[in-house]
Structure 1
Amino acid sequence: LQVVPAYQRGAPISAAAFTRTGLLGFIGPAGLVFVAGKMDGLMAVGGRRHSADDIVATALAVEPMKFVYRGRIAVFSVTVLHDERIVVVAEQRPDSTEEDSFQWMSRVLQVRTDQLIGAAGQLIPGSGFALFIRLVSSFQAIDGIHQVGVYCLALVPSNTLPKTPLGGIHLSETKQLFLEGALHPCNVLMCPHTCVTNLPKPRQKQPEIGPASVMVGNLVSGKRIAQASGRDLGQMEDNDQARKFLFLSEVLQWRAQTTPDHVLYTLLNARGTVAGSLTCLQLHKRAEKIAALLAERRHLQDGDHVALVYPPGERPPQTSPAGPGLPVPTPGSPCPDPLSCCRRGPHRSLLWLSVRRLRARHGATASPSEHRHHAADRQDDRGGEASSGSGWSLHHRVCACVCASGCVCCSCLQVSRSACLMTSQILCKLLRSKEASAAVDARTWPPVLDTDDLPKKKPPLLFKPSNSDTLAYLDFSVSTTGMLAGVQMSHGATSAFCRSIKLQCELYPSREVALCLDPYCGLGFVLWCLCSVYSGHQSILIPPSELEANPSLWLSAVSQSRVRDTFCSYSVMELCTKGLGLQTEALKVGPREAPPLTDGWTLSLSAPQARGLDLSRVRTCVVVAEERPRTALTQSFSKLFKDLGLHPRAVSTSFGCRVNLAICLQGTSGPDPTTVYVDMRALRHDRVRLVERGSPHSLPLMESGKILPGVRIIIANPETKGPMGESHLGEIWVHSGHNASGYFTVYGDEALQSDHFCSRLSFGDTQTIWARTGYLGFLRRTELTDASGERHDALYVVGALEEAMELRGMRYHPIDIETSIIRTHKSITECAVFTWTNLLVVVVELDGSEQEALDLVPLVTNVVLEEHYLIVGVVVVVDMGVIPINSRGEKQRMHLRDGFLADQLDPVYVAYNM
């Protein structure tokens, strides 16, 4: 390239043309030319320029030719958080050991042992870190000589770096492989704590403004108080069944007399055929027999609790609180079924860890047989089986599930003080088996009643509760933080709940509703067991476990039955998206014309479905959840099955929590759910700033359905308990006739329970009693109109307070960080984050070979720095299926944290960023 040098004022120095060599240097005495480096190897880091050749020379000078293979070292810079960061990639000798690798890296970098321990707080579990701490010593290398920190030091096997035609290292291609996660290093050491010095200043919390001042400020600025309500339940017709019958048992008895042959429940199997059905009369008669069984064999008294342990099927509705003959006001206590704790096959180490966590929280101790069983399981781990559990024998897997479920059920029974336990004949034998006895002493079980062996005669007198405030059932659930909580639902709240759902979804006897979600707790239990009795519609029950064998079962049932309304869970939606995403054309044309499906899936449809799936009749497809709507998953589901006739606006979500099982639910009338985009950076400061779609740092938030009839919500400050203004972030408080009455013997602190279920505002309307949901969100009045003609108030859920992480003075929600991490590499299938001793720990599941494990470490560190301004402390790469997920599709992050601290994750690789 020909250039003409010029003075600063622009005049040329010489008329002769010069050629640029790309070399850096200077002219010394006697006209000698000194070459200092190359322009290509010049890196501007922290406002200073550094030569890559100098850093290569320094690294080689540590131990010349003893560790680095033929001196092959590549040094380049990558842009992370608005500055260049130095990356050193070296080929190690073929005979190098892991100890040699850590020793060489520690000598290249100037790192002190006391600094590392001070950053970590204490030694982090894992032999790799302990080895590194022993080998680290203070050596003046890159950091000491060049006064610059190395962001990433990676070691690759010999002869693996890309070469130029002349045999040198191809620097640009090496950098591209590093950024794409295709370098496949064998050792990685990240040092972001010492290199990244341009992080934003931590947030300094200012003194809180009083609730009265906030309210006055909103009134002065013209903002209304953030409160909204659904339709009024008090406006009832004279012939409404709510006036005639106060309890579900009376409703079922009335239906058995007026419409005895009307089918309430239809159960489908994995082949899509009807496995069983229940009419009003059959359900009523079976409930009477169960009442006779309880009256004869157990002689239960008013106030006794009966635990129900059933898999999804016909029996949960038969033993639900709707049964008229149940002689106690608290007949239902849904416990986890043996496979309900996790959506997918649980990792054996975390299974036992979850059990011990529940036991520790409720004062129970493990039996010696449980310790022996777990010790044998750990011995199997040391025997060299596959870490993912695929090599685990079916016998051991079933035994562990039985033992773990027995421990969880035992915890529920101990907390609820159940007088007896009702279950099927198969589960009855399973609970009394050798495997179950290894985990729980059989003598600690309450009396177990087999509901497959019922008496023939009817009970002499049917029990009727004295008033609507008596307890109907206890709803037990394990939260994402590992807390086993049972909430009390009264008969009045249960009836009001069913009526609210009936009005919102316009349910009546001629309607059919398809349900594909677990019936163990929350809204899933109410939809599966109670709503059909109250509303009279037919519920088509599809156990989610059947979709493992036939992923098209749910959609084919919806198409064949021409269902207009269906409910599912995120687990079901994710399974259909992944399992049927590439088979939409096959589902559309039907099995007679379709090509064979790929990925091991088989299309199992009955004869009436031969013409293909048609989802055009679906009016509402509601995802039942207790979290922020997963916008990406719902949009992917809508786009994938749009060719089958599914309208995008039909897909929506519901929102509920422990204090109120359903607050929002998209009904048949009203505007479509809206999506807004907020600034993620403002959200960390507990502020809501609406931005346009596609803006930097924008986060989509989907409306969580329409507020149910009889429900009032208000947004309050979780600390001052004062009302917030519209579009301001705060805690969601709810006032409703179907609020839970309180927790059942979990906390023991009456003040804390009263604060959850009986809170009052500190300013404004101080008379209304509210229940605190524990979720952050905001209300926004849209331009749309609802059925009443008023402007629609949309509720947007941001996340749970107990899961939020306080880092650098800001509030982070784990799902935001996890979403960014999953996008970084195609091999990351799942991710979970949590904090430990002020360190951010990231656990990623690897879907690929172990060679790709270390590629993920710099990518994860980079994306969290770029998008969230946080430094990752530990990156743990594990096999698929290790991150525990419950039946609702929620990650059990605290169980995962306990497994990490107990060194039971069996990771592929653990990287400690220093």
Structure 2
Amino acid sequence: MTGTTHRGAIAARMVDTLERRMMRLLPDILQARAADQPDDCAYVFLDERGAEAELLTYSELHFRAMAVAAYLRERCAQGDRVILMIPPGLDFVVAYVGCLYAHVIAVPVSPPRNHRIHDATRNIIADCDPAMVLTSLDDVDPDGTLEPDRCDAASIAFLQYTSGSTSAPKGVMVSHGNLAANQEQIQRAMGHDEESTFVGWAPLFHDQGLIGNVLQPLHLGATSYLMSPGAFIRRPLLWLSAISKYRAHSSGGPNFAFDVCVAHAQRRDLSDLDLSSWRVAFNGAEPIRPESLRRFAETFAPYGFDANALYPCYGLAEATLFVSGSRKGRGPRYLDADRDELGRGHVVPGQGRTLVGSGVPEADIRIVDPHTRQPSEPHRIGEIWVAGEQVAQGYWNGRSPDTFADGYLHTGDLGVVIDEELYVVGRVKDLIIIRGRNVYPHDIELTAQSAHPLVRPGACAAFAISGVDTDRLVVVAEVREERPDIAGAIRAAIIREHEVAVADLVLSAPGRLQKTSSGKIMRSAAKKCYLEGGFDVDCEESRV
């Protein structure tokens, strides 16, 4: 079914009427939960050691959010933007719902680190022109009250700024109707109900953390246990301990999170770990590695983890969050593709690269030639276009209007649909073309980081620069220390695995490659830094 559409199947699943959809808007849902299940636990925030630091019932969340709404309405008009620059914790959840209640547009951003505001945050503030920046709720009168009135499904609920992995962050205008539609799609695709306990650590200003770990539990009436991203980075197995302790049904993160847990498991006593409750281990937000899934399943099988709980999925902020995902209990789908044919943009069974399926689309999907804008032939890789109720209205300030055109969201991602399974293979903007052959940068990066033990995992960037008659491949790799054999190992591995020569290899000190909040390498930033000579020279190989 690669080619045109999944409209028949999608239409059959989208049976809710507009009236029922409006009844399921999140502000209405919270008010109903506060009335019907006031004492049920909505959220628990865990501290750096996994202890319960904060707790909110549905009633407490509702009344605290009304107080925030009253505070905002005294200072803002409906439709004003409000920056949420709040540290990890339940105050963020209260502030976000308060914005929904006040009919102002929340703009979640990364809180300052080391007393420094990120450049991306400054750019977001300049782009959205906010009326207010909320950094805490200390000034909010806890007795303040603003009775929320009915939201319009078409009105903007919040601006979700893109990660900036390939360009400057843009504010996606997510409506209340988009949120409601995507929440129902996530519930259906992941088999959730009110008993589906969540554990999450993804940043709350990121779409996976906010929509997946905060709003989906609210939609269901379930409980979510949240921890800070910093706690996960410092103690990755704290994540799995929380899943074990609270018998979580759903939890996940980007691919690197599964790799990090495997690495730490090798030097820890895990005898108390029990992952048998984990039914949906979603993996998304960056390229999904088949070896990561397999290693994780093998490592944690002795502790009750079921490999069929692995749940690859695909989504993006422009589609609110979720576009496609595996099916609960089915496990991942793998497809072995011929590398030479893949380089020609064609998926043919064979040896060379194992693709991981990103599940069954919960949207109208088209695979389109990005140059002709015509449907791709079967098994031919093209740009993924998405249509459906979860697709946002566009970008704030009318930026990049071509992304939302022809009735579809042009995702910029490359993929193919085979046997109703979506396989994502790369990004249009990142694609490297060398002598007519397509080279996917994340394949090169994986080979580079696997070539030598001193190359830091997840810290390689591959990109192209213009040459005389074809693109030239550049690889930047962060290394733990300088060793003369590293460069040769990387070059040899890339030639052996991909039959492509590296024109320039830069070995950089750690921390030089920029990443998004979900851990994706910012290749455009790496290329810019490279062209400006901005990488460390103490670990740089002579250029050829």
Query: What is the TM-score of this pair, normalised by structure 1?
Result: 0.56
Contact 1:295 1:459 in 2 (8 A): no
CA distance in 2, matches of 1:803, 1:897: 11
Q: What residue number does 1:282 align with?
A: 60
- How far does residue 477 in structure 1 lie from its aligned partner after superposition? 2.6
AA partner of residue 489 (structure 1): V
CA distance in 1, matches of 2:67, 2:224: 23
Secondary structure at the counterpart of residue 816 of structure 1: helix
Q: What RMSD in Å do the two structures reach over aligned CA positions?
A: 2.4
CA distance in 2, matches of 1:832, 1:642: 32
CA distance in 2, matches of 1:876, 1:250: 54
Structure 1 residues 403, 338: closer, same or farther in 2, change over 3 A? closer
Find 2:403's aligned residue among 756, 773, 778: 756
Q: 1:212-223 to 2 correspondence within 5 Å?
A: none
- How far does residue 252 in structure 1 lie from its aligned partner after superposition? 0.9
Q: What residue number does 1:859 align with?
A: 489
Secondary structure at the counterpart of residue 811 of structure 1: strand
Q: What residue number does 2:376 align with?
A: 724
| Deviation per residue, 1:298-329 (Å, 9 max, x gap) | 1x222211111122221222122x4487322x
Find 1:454's aligned residue among 120, 132, 140: 140
CA distance in 2, matches of 1:908, 1:633: 32
Q: What residue number does 1:58 align with?
A: none
Q: 1:534-683 to 2 correspondence within 5 Å?
A: 534-583=219-268, 586-588=269-271, 612-625=272-285, 627-660=286-319, 661-668=321-328, 671-683=330-342
Structure 1 residues 246, 721: closer, same or farther in 2, change over 3 A? same
| Deviation per residue, 1:46-95 (Å, 9 max, x gap) | xxxxxxxxxxxxxxxxxxxxxxxxxxxxxxxxxxxxxxxxxxxxxxxxxx
CA distance in 1, matches of 2:282, 2:21: 29
AA partner of residue 831 (structure 1): C
Q: Indicate yes or no: 2:447 matched with 1:820.
A: yes
Greater Cα radius of gyration, structure 1 or 2: 1
Contact 2:332 2:357 in 1 (8 A): yes
AA partner of residue 727 (structure 1): H
Q: Indicate yes or no: 2:464 matched with 1:831.
A: no
Q: What residue number does 1:39 align with?
A: none
Q: Indicate yes or no: 2:105 matched with 1:422.
A: no
CA distance in 2, matches of 1:248, 1:622: 23
Q: What residue number does 2:15 align with?
A: 235
CA distance in 2, matches of 1:706, 1:231: 14
CA distance in 2, matches of 1:678, 1:890: 24
Structure 1 residues 516, 338: closer, same or farther in 2, change over 3 A? same
Q: Unpaired runs of 5+ in structure 2?
A: none
| Deviation per residue, 1:115-151 (Å, 9 max, x gap) | xxxxxxxxxxxxxxxxxxxxxxxxxxxxxxxxxxxxx
- How far does residue 502 in structure 1 lie from its aligned partner after superposition? 1.9
CA distance in 1, matches of 2:410, 2:183: 22
CA distance in 2, matches of 1:688, 1:538: 42
Q: Indicate yes or no: 2:488 matched with 1:776.
A: no
Q: What residue number does 2:479 align with?
A: 846
Find 2:512's aligned residue among 868, 879, 882: 882
Structure 1 residues 255, 413: closer, same or farther in 2, change over 3 A? same
CA distance in 1, matches of 2:408, 2:233: 41
Query: What is the TM-score of this pair, normalised by structure 2?
Result: 0.92
Contact 2:68 2:140 in 1 (8 A): yes
Find 2:207's aligned residue among 522, 537, 543: 522
- How far does residue 655 in structure 1 lie from its aligned partner after superposition? 0.7
Q: Which moved more, 1:805-814 or 1:487-496?
A: 805-814
Find 2:343's aligned residue among 674, 684, 692: 684
Structure 1 residues 858, 548: closer, same or farther in 2, change over 3 A? closer
AA partner of residue 535 (structure 2): L
CA distance in 2, matches of 1:744, 1:525: 19
| Deviation per residue, 1:273-298 (Å, 9 max, x gap) | 111111111000111100111122x1
Contact 2:100 2:106 in 1 (8 A): no
CA distance in 1, matches of 2:94, 2:82: 14
Structure 1 residues 628, 570: closer, same or farther in 2, change over 3 A? closer
CA distance in 2, matches of 1:555, 1:282: 28
Contact 1:475 1:489 in 2 (8 A): yes
Q: What residue number does 1:12 align with?
A: none
Q: Indicate yes or no: 2:118 matched with 1:464.
A: no
Q: 1:330-345 to 2 correspondence within 5 Å?
A: 330-339=104-113
Structure 1 residues 271, 910: closer, same or farther in 2, change over 3 A? closer
Find 1:739's aligned residue among 375, 385, 391: 391
- How far does residue 552 in structure 1 lie from its aligned partner after superposition? 2.0
Q: Unpaired runs of 5+ in structure 1?
A: 1-222, 340-397, 425-450, 589-611, 760-768, 782-792
CA distance in 1, matches of 2:231, 2:208: 20
Q: What residue number does 2:49 align with?
A: 271
Structure 1 residues 315, 569: closer, same or farther in 2, change over 3 A? farther
- How far does residue 721 in structure 1 lie from its aligned partner after superposition? 1.6
- How far does residue 835 in structure 1 lie from its aligned partner after superposition? 2.2
Contact 2:415 2:425 in 1 (8 A): yes
Secondary structure at the counterpart of residue 495 of structure 1: helix
Q: 1:319-468 to 2 correspondence within 5 Å?
A: 319-320=95-96, 322-323=97-98, 326-328=101-103, 330-339=104-113, 398=114, 402-405=115-118, 407-424=119-136, 451-459=137-145, 462-465=148-151, 467-468=152-153
| Deviation per residue, 1:487-532 (Å, 9 max, x gap) | 1011111111112112222333333111122222223221233222
CA distance in 2, matches of 1:867, 1:243: 50
Secondary structure at the counterpart of residue 476 of structure 2: strand
